[in-house]
Every structure is written in C-alpha cells, then in structure tokens.
Amino acid sequence: MKITSSLMTPIKSESDALIVSFFLGESFSPSAKDADELLNKQITQLHKNRDFTAKAGEVLTLFTNNGQRVVLVGLGKKSKCDLGTLQMASKNAIKALVKTPAQSVSNYISANEFENIDKATVCKIICIAASHAVYRYETTKNFKKDNKHSLKSMDIYADEKLASTVRHASSIAIGVEVSRELGNLPANICNPDYLAKQAEDIAKKYDNCSLSILDKKKMEKLKMGSLLAVARGSRNQPKMIVLKYNGADKSQKPHILVGKGITFDTGGISLKPGSNMDEMKYDMCGAATVIGTFVAVAEMQLPINLICIVPAVENMPDGDAYRPGDVVTSYSGKTIEVLNTDAEGRMILCDALTYAQEFEPQVLIDLATLTGACVVALGHVASAVMSKQSQLPQDIINAGIEIHDRAWPLPLWDDYQKQINTSFADMQNIGGFAAGTITAGCFLARFTENVNWAHIDIAGTAWENKKEGATGRPVAMMSQYLINESQK
C-alpha cells in the first residue's frame, strides 16, 4: 500500500473511504465536523443515541449519499490515549476496510488532536499499523482473487513539516512487510539459497547497495566450524549473506546487524517434539528482521553505513549431523562442547559475529529467535535486550518506546557465565534450565569482547500464532534506532 501525506479535507477527498477519529466525551475535530456534514449529521445523531460512543478501538462504517465509505474509529478518553490505543484503533479502522473493495483511503486520525503523543510519533504509528492491517499472505495459496485486501493507497492528513516523517514511516512499513513475507514462507521455499537470491534482488534495486555471499567452500576455507557443524545434517547448503548499504562517507564505520537465519529447525539429533514443529519455519525471523530493516534503511536513504549479515542454515537430523557430545572449533578459534543440537542458533551466530568484527563496526547488534525461555519471561509483548554496554541497550530500548515496538533489558552479569563452563572445551552450548535466555546471551558475549555489541532475543515478538504469523517485529524498532543514529 502506497502511503503519502496530504492536506485534502474530507469534504474535498475523492478517496473510496475516509477514516475519522473521535475521543470519548470530546467535541468533534475539524475533520470530524466535515465528515458529519458529508453524512447529513448522522454522526451527531449516533452520539446522541449512544450507538457510537468512541470507546477505544470501536469502529463503525457509514456511507455518504454518493457511496463513499466513512469509517468512524474511537480513541477512548483523550487523557488515556497512548501509543497502544492509537496502534489498535488504527489497525481496527483499516481492518474494517480490507473486507471491502475500497482501493483508496484518506486517514483523518489527526496528529494535532493528541495530548500526550507528539505529532511525528502519531504519524508513524498510524502508517505502520495501517500497513500491518492491509498485509495478507497469499504466496502459496491457489484461490480465485477476491475483492478484499485491495487497498492500494492511503493519504494521511499531515502538513509539510510531517511529510518526511510519513515517508520514513512508509519505508519502515515496506521493511516490515518484507520481513513478514519472508517469515511466513514455508521452509521448502525459503531455504538458505532462497534468502541469498532475495538479498541479491534487494542489492540490485538500490544503487548504493552491494552483496557478497560466502558459500560452504569459502566457510570451510575460513574454518567456520561452529556454523558448518549445524549445517552438516541438511542437503540445503549454508550461505553467509552480507548486504552492504553505503549512505555515508566511506570513513564512517558501519552499523552491523546480524540475523539468525535458521530456515528450519528440527532440533537436529536433539529432535524437537512433532507437535507444532511446523512453526520452526519462523526460526529465521532474525534474518527476516535484518533484511527488512535493510530495505527500510535503503528506502529512506539514511546517511549511515549499514551491513546486514545473515548466516542462513537449516538444522536437520542426518547420518552426518553433529551430535550431543561433539566438540567443534568456532571461527574465533574457541572450542564448543555441544550438549544440545537444538541450541543451534548461538552456534551459527558466534561465527557470524566473529566475521562481522572484521568490518570494524561502530555498533554490532544480533537479532535471533533464540530461546523459548524469552517467551516465558516477556511473553509476546517485548523483545529482550542484553549487552555489556550501558548506552547501546538504552538507545535500542528508547527507539522501541518511541515507535511502540518495545524491548526490555536482561542482565549479562558474569555470575551467569559459570553455567556454560565445561571440562571438555572452552565452553558448552547450553547453560541448563535456569536463566536460559541470559546464558544464551552469555555464550555470545564470549565472542564479542571489546565490541559495542548487543543481543536481542525476539523469540516472543517475531511471530505469534498460526493465524497471525510473522509480525515483522522488531523491524520498526531497529529502523527507528538507525534513524536516531543517523541524526547524531
């Protein structure tokens, strides 16, 4: 869906539909008054009869005399309207339209009407929420096209000062959609080779982007033993995808994002239960996040240098698969005792993080659906952030708060490191039941010493359930973080 800004009033709008917002118990906004005129005072009557009260998320669709749809959406009490309420209301309003043949909409949820939210944030939330509501997975469906989900454009009511904000929000929305589509694809399509080809298409689209790929032979030559151990059980060969965006002077050190790209995770020899194993196609959502963020940055043409690295691997059981008890040598030279082959994400990330440091990053962040323990700790509300640094995790958290794609810190104290000590190697790949998310972070910390690094566990946020599928989170948070970095 194309998203633009406009100052066209409801009276003059020629869009198929209008979205108009109301606060509970408040007088009508100028746009709401215009809509009321278009509807021959129907909104006034509905308020009097309490058929529409403007409670948070309430939606009602009316029609003008010429058949134009007008979606009324409630925002609840003005003093209590926060980013979550705005996001929910914006999604509900668009969902009411995706069920119809409407192709264009003018959105009059006005940034000027909010007490506790700044105008730029209002615009971003509306745009990203609207795009999220429009998305529908269709790639592997064989059905007759219906007339639903046909919204092609949305004008958001915003002045010239907010036009650049809307453009940024539109770019982030594109990145979120890319991430969701990659996450939702089945593993028989979205394998390491497919991710590499998608990265190639992305690099070709933008003049200031480039791509390099390490195949199995190159990784063997470099002795990336930890990553290659995970890949041994699959017929789908591993790829190390390196996407580069050059938006600043070459002398400026890059921000580097590393995304876990396990395109399917059976658990390997430590086989997962069969129930819900199909959901392990989402184990590459770290990769989907960094690719989606890369697209958003390229669309915005931010004045930074960005490198996104995706170790793309499939974890399968096989006669040649790595086993519990094996000791492998990572790219860093450190040895790892494998106690559980289902703790494979950290095994591929450690080699990717070591490789990333060769590009001398000013910031290094990895994102991964790494631990089920993270879902237990934070549910589906927030991603977990871990770092030895003080400012970096706070900057990430602040960006998430700003765009309502939130994260929360977990400690990486050295007290936890003893849980991954072993007598048979430099470390073992699991730390036991206690503090599983933190000990996974501790494992990665051993490969990122003296680096401005943070680890983000997105196991609870990158996807929710079979109906919702991939969420595209936290592309918005990472995009906002990089916007903030580009303005320093």
Rounded Cα–Cα distance for residues 388 and 379 (Å): 24
The percent of the chain in helix, strand and coil, each rounded to the nearest 5, is 40, 20, 40
Q: Which of 346, 388, 406, 473 is catalytic?
A: 346
- Per the rule left: phi > 0, alpha: psi between -120 and 50, beta: everything else, 156 is beta
Question: What is residue 428's DSSP assignment?
Answer: E
For tokens 């392990």, the residue is: 280
Both tokens of 352, joined, read 């990717």
Q: Which of 272, 323, 334, 446 is catalytic?
A: 272
Q: Is 69 a catalytic residue?
A: no
Both tokens of 48, joined, read 């009097």
Both tokens of 37, joined, read 């005129």
Rounded Cα–Cα distance for residues 156 and 115 (Å): 19
Q: Of 266, 375, 357, 275, which is closest to residue 309 (Cα–Cα)? A: 357
Q: Is 346 a catalytic residue?
A: yes
Backbone angles phi, psi at 365, to 5 degrees: -130, 130
Rounded Cα–Cα distance for residues 71 and 75 (Å): 13
Q: Of 283, 300, 131, which is closest to residue 195 (Cα–Cα)? A: 283
What is the secondary structure of 225-293 as a DSSP string?
A: HHHHHHHTT-SS--EEEEEEEE-S-TTSPPEEEEE-EEEEE--TTSPPPSTTGGGGGGGGHHHHHHHHH
Which residues have a catalytic role annotated? 272, 346
